[in-house]
Structure 1
Amino acid sequence: MDVQRVLSGLAEQLRTWWPVPGITISVVDGTGESAFVTAGCANAESGAPVSRRTRFEIGSISKTFTAFLLGILADEGKVDLDAAVADHLPWFAPNGGSRAITVRHLLQHTSGLVAGADALPDAAARGYALCDAKTWAEPGELFHYSNEGYNLLGLIVEQVTGESLADAMAGRLLRPLGMRDSAARITHEGIAELATGYRFLRDDRPPLPSAPLAPAGFFEYSAADGNVLATASDLGLFARMLLGRGTLDGTRIIGPERFRQIVTVPGDAVSSGYALGVDVEVIDGHTWLTHAGGMVGYRSYLAVDTDGGHGVVVLTNAPGESQIIDRFARHVLAVVQGAPADPALFDPERIPDAQRYVGIHGTTPRQICVEATGDDRLSLTSDEVTGRLYDAGDGRLVCDHPGWSAYHHSLDGRWLYGPESLGPSPSAPTAPPHALAGHYRSYTPWYPSFSIVQRAGRLHMIAATGVEAPCDEPELVPLDDGTFRIGADPRLPERLTSGPALDGAVLWVDLDGCRYTRSFRGQPEPWEAPVRSSHTRSWRCASSMASASASASASASAKSSPETSRIRRNR
């Protein structure tokens, strides 16, 4: 098999179906890089192509680097992974001064801390904001992915080494691995050869596969949950170190026992597969080490089969929430190891387990008919208009029907769509409008906006886009203290606090320290007049992006339009 040709074809097919401006793939084995593929643009406006020197922000794959760095520091005797976090950060006193949370709990995402706190951009400020945090799960009891926990780990690195996280990581990992084109801090001074990141032009509705993009905008970043930028070939060196179980070309990077601890999921672990900074999976009897990475404007994936002897790195400047990249990268690793190439696995019109969606959902007058149209494709008909359903890449569906495009679609016994729960009978009596119901937005680029809807008598938070936005449309559970827990599990730490109401509508809410204000108060919501998009788009750099840019410019000139306000506020 001509691996280079096959992977090039898969990459181009991915870009035909999904909004991926540029992509680079590195395939490695124990002896070196066996294949390298690029496609598309590092900058879609100029048409500059992705090259071997193009760098990408690798997002949460940085957590794997952080875990290995702490393992190295443990071997040096500078840190004990089972020590209390407060031993290194004395100001960290959650739950009234408890010392129960350990370094290992942070590494395993079992501390019980919030997933993210996006109000403060600086690592030290973010960490200190948790000094008196409250948790509702005992440490080690609940796997709850936490960027904030890894930010604290970076502060611990700085405390025990007396160096910045970037210097400590470069000295103990990047330079020993030969990652010369990478950096452990994202700064203006270090953006040479950095691909331009892209976001969805609209953040208020689920993106179709044809959704136009816009430049995401650059910002500096140094926290340990997402501090690394790298080329694909450089990250391939890290993958080869994983294949070598802590060694690269005869150079030992980390001790063998420490490596084993990092990539081993304890038998009593509450996570099904997360060890220390890395997902551990068993696929057809082989152990895979994987991690996804999402930044504002970038989606990446690292996958290594330690038994099969191959690793794959996929870096893109697609929107950070584009989980289809993860599926694509996993397929690339399977293909490299002998599986037949199957582009249908990431065809957005092919719906996994499509037949289960087929049927009539809802009752008159709010009713939809979902039909199979062949080859796992689905259509949705309502009010004598038919639209197409697409795989959103995250377990949900999106639709181009003009009346059913404002929210994601999912099926959980009943057909769920925004505030609607469609089944053979009405879900619940219509309740009076809740003061919280509406659309909210903030200036944070990670999670720019969300809607609060009333569904079957309960409030749910729904986000159309956003790197850190939840995909499960969590319930808002009212608590005795007047706040709302985000999610049904009583051990979850995220809280939403309502601000003041004016004319029966809440003006703003606080989400774990980040304030969101209601949008379009007293006006029709912008999704009440949806626009149908074309079915497919082939991302061909400057031409397609110029079209999106022209569209945005035209909207910006119509200052009286609510849509204009929405786009301008998101820049």
Structure 2
Amino acid sequence: MKEYTISPRRSRMVLSVVLASFLTFQMTDCFIEEKPKEKNIEQKPPTPDAEAERKTRDKRIETEREALSAWMRANTWYPIVPAAAAVVVENDAVVFRETVRCEPTKPFMVASLTKTFTMLSILQLVDRGIISLDDPISKYLHVDFENSELASKPISIWHLLTHTSGLVEDPNPKLAENNYPFIVPEQKYPTGFRFNYCNQGYNLLGFIVFEASGLSLGDYVTRNILVPLEMRDSMAPVTTRGAAGVECSLNDLTKYIFMFMQGGEFKGRRIVSRRMFRKILEESVEGPSSKYKEYRGICFRIWSVNGRIYSMHHAAHMPGAGGFMQLFPRHRCGYVFISNPPVYDREEFYGYYYGLKSRLMQFCKVLMNDTFDPVSFQPDRPTVKQLRRFVGRYRNENNDTYVDIELHPSGYLVAVKSYTGQRCMITPTSLHTFVYIYPGQSEKGEIYDFVMKRGMVIGLGVKEGYFVR
């Protein structure tokens, strides 16, 4: 490995990019998109039935608003949750807003929601032709991240964005040797084969933003996202990393959610192109087709029904922060809440977190005019017949270990690891992802991800590595 420096050629490129970024903010026309003028259409008065329906809907919204406000005031217990703030929006209007022990202008740490700002930064640089989603990350970071034993293709910017790089979180992080300012995580799975959430992978994206633009991630986010969105209470400090560090108020998160609901536009300013916004919603790894589906796009978890996008959402969890953002594009509504629990990984906070999330979803259900119910949405699970496609032996090509997947007579899958002798029942969370819940746990467990290519099951990803069928 060589010393981490910026080459003279890259220095000249950085200077030109900084100048271009400066000019972008001086010339606001670069953000503004021409819109066709609306024709004057005579508005017909509402029919009696429509007026009665509107009044009934307004009454339901008011009832839901009062109940949600009362719930937040009663359940935001100090010191488990010192302060909390929530908002529900529909079209371009706020239909609910509540704060407990704070003002709507108070900045909160938004934890992993920072990843959505990092994502937008990368997509903007792609829009401007400075980088490509297909660029190998070694082009900017000058380090080989690929595990030669896996013989997989190079890790690209797309793979980091979609958590499909195969890199895994280092539980005892340390900086790489030779003065690299970032952690070099281990690649445990072949590139592009499976989803594996990796904060350290998103931190690498923050350094790519710096290499490509000449601005620290915090400065880039401030100039190119916070300022255009008029997020005046928010900040992206110089210490901001790709996975965390941005702080936002409820008022500003409201503007942020409006931008996503408008497909990447805010007050006529295009923050990210329509083409890049559509990329956010693409599936990152292959999975079986189904009516009710949950998958990972860029950064967001997506719900679809019959191939149509119904929800995009992302959580925010870390010490001092807990929240959730969820948008329902087809219904043009959504919500976000944020709080500051000193300790988030405890039953008392999770009870509050899931209780508030379900009530905000219920509020959005009142705003919807169809049968879709976000509270009860569940992705399709495999039938007993479909479970048979996963049965077989999966071998690690670098040693003699294997995992056997068996179909139990009672109609569920059993995983048997040769190297531990462990035998456990695995429960489906989607059509190709399963989990083993440890005794005494309610949600966390060991993931069993079956890898599909061209409709065939070809491998299995578990915590010990990748196994080939």
Q: TM-score, normalised by structure 2?
A: 0.60
Percent of aligned positions that are identical: 24
> Which of 330, 334, 358 in structure 1 is aligned with 2:362?
334
> Which of 46, 59, 81 in structure 2 is aligned with 1:20?
81
Work out whether 1:302 is the aligned partner of 2:356. Answer: no
Number of corresponding residues: 319
Aligned-partner Cα distance in 2 for 1:116–1:8: 41
The one-letter code of the counterpart of 1:260 is: R
The aligned counterpart of 1:352 is: none
**Cα offset, 1:280, TM superposition:** 1.1
The one-letter code of the counterpart of 1:320 is: Y
The one-letter code of the counterpart of 1:491 is: G
Aligned-partner Cα distance in 1 for 2:303–2:359: 15
The aligned counterpart of 1:320 is: 344
- Aligned CA-pair RMSD: 3.8
**Cα offset, 1:75, TM superposition:** 0.2
**Cα offset, 1:248, TM superposition:** 1.4
**Cα offset, 1:334, TM superposition:** 3.0
Work out whether 1:5 is the aligned partner of 2:5. Answer: no
Aligned-partner Cα distance in 2 for 1:35–1:474: 37
Alignment of 1:394-409 (within 5 A): none
Alignment of 1:138-157 (within 5 A): 138-157=190-209
Work out whether 1:241 is the aligned partner of 2:269. Answer: no
**Structure 2 unmatched runs, 5+:** 1-60, 369-373, 376-412, 415-421, 423-436, 449-460
**Cα offset, 1:95, TM superposition:** 2.1
Residue 311 of structure 1 aligns to a residue whose secondary structure is strand
Bigger fraction of residues in helix: 2
| Alpha-carbon contact 1:85-1:99 (below 8 Å) kept | no
The aligned counterpart of 2:300 is: 278
The aligned counterpart of 1:383 is: none
The one-letter code of the counterpart of 1:64 is: T
The one-letter code of the counterpart of 2:97 is: F
**Cα offset, 1:269, TM superposition:** 5.7
**Cα offset, 1:326, TM superposition:** 4.7
The aligned counterpart of 1:391 is: none
Alignment of 1:128-207 (within 5 A): 128-130=182-184, 133-185=185-237
| More off after superposition, 60-69 vs 160-169 | 60-69
Residue 140 of structure 1 aligns to a residue whose secondary structure is coil
Work out whether 1:491 is the aligned partner of 2:465. Answer: yes
Residue 255 of structure 2 aligns to a residue whose secondary structure is helix
The aligned counterpart of 1:472 is: 445
The aligned counterpart of 1:500 is: none
**Cα offset, 1:290, TM superposition:** 0.4
Deviation per residue, 1:99-147 (Å, 9 max, x gap): 611111111111111134454499x9786431xx542311111111000
**Cα offset, 1:336, TM superposition:** 3.1
The one-letter code of the counterpart of 2:263 is: R
Aligned-partner Cα distance in 1 for 2:153–2:462: 27
**Structure 1 unmatched runs, 5+:** 40-48, 188-220, 347-411, 414-420, 422-459, 476-486, 494-571
Distance change in 2, residues 1:163/1:316 (3 Å): same
Deviation per residue, 1:138-183 (Å, 9 max, x gap): 1111111000110000010010000110011111111111111111
| Alpha-carbon contact 1:92-1:128 (below 8 Å) kept | no
Aligned-partner Cα distance in 1 for 2:444–2:362: 26
**Cα offset, 1:305, TM superposition:** 0.7
| Alpha-carbon contact 2:326-2:335 (below 8 Å) kept | yes
The aligned counterpart of 1:113 is: 167
Work out whether 1:287 is the aligned partner of 2:260. Answer: no
Residue 94 of structure 1 aligns to a residue whose secondary structure is coil
Higher relative CO (Cα under 8 Å, sequence separation at least 6) belongs to 1
**Cα offset, 1:236, TM superposition:** 1.3
> Which of 42, 51, 75 in structure 1 is aligned with 2:103?
51
The aligned counterpart of 1:432 is: none
The aligned counterpart of 1:36 is: 97
Distance change in 2, residues 1:31/1:339 (3 Å): closer
The one-letter code of the counterpart of 1:317 is: N
| Alpha-carbon contact 1:236-1:311 (below 8 Å) kept | no
Residue 129 of structure 2 aligns to a residue whose secondary structure is coil
Aligned-partner Cα distance in 1 for 2:319–2:179: 20
Aligned-partner Cα distance in 2 for 1:164–1:488: 35
| More off after superposition, 92-101 vs 310-319 | 92-101
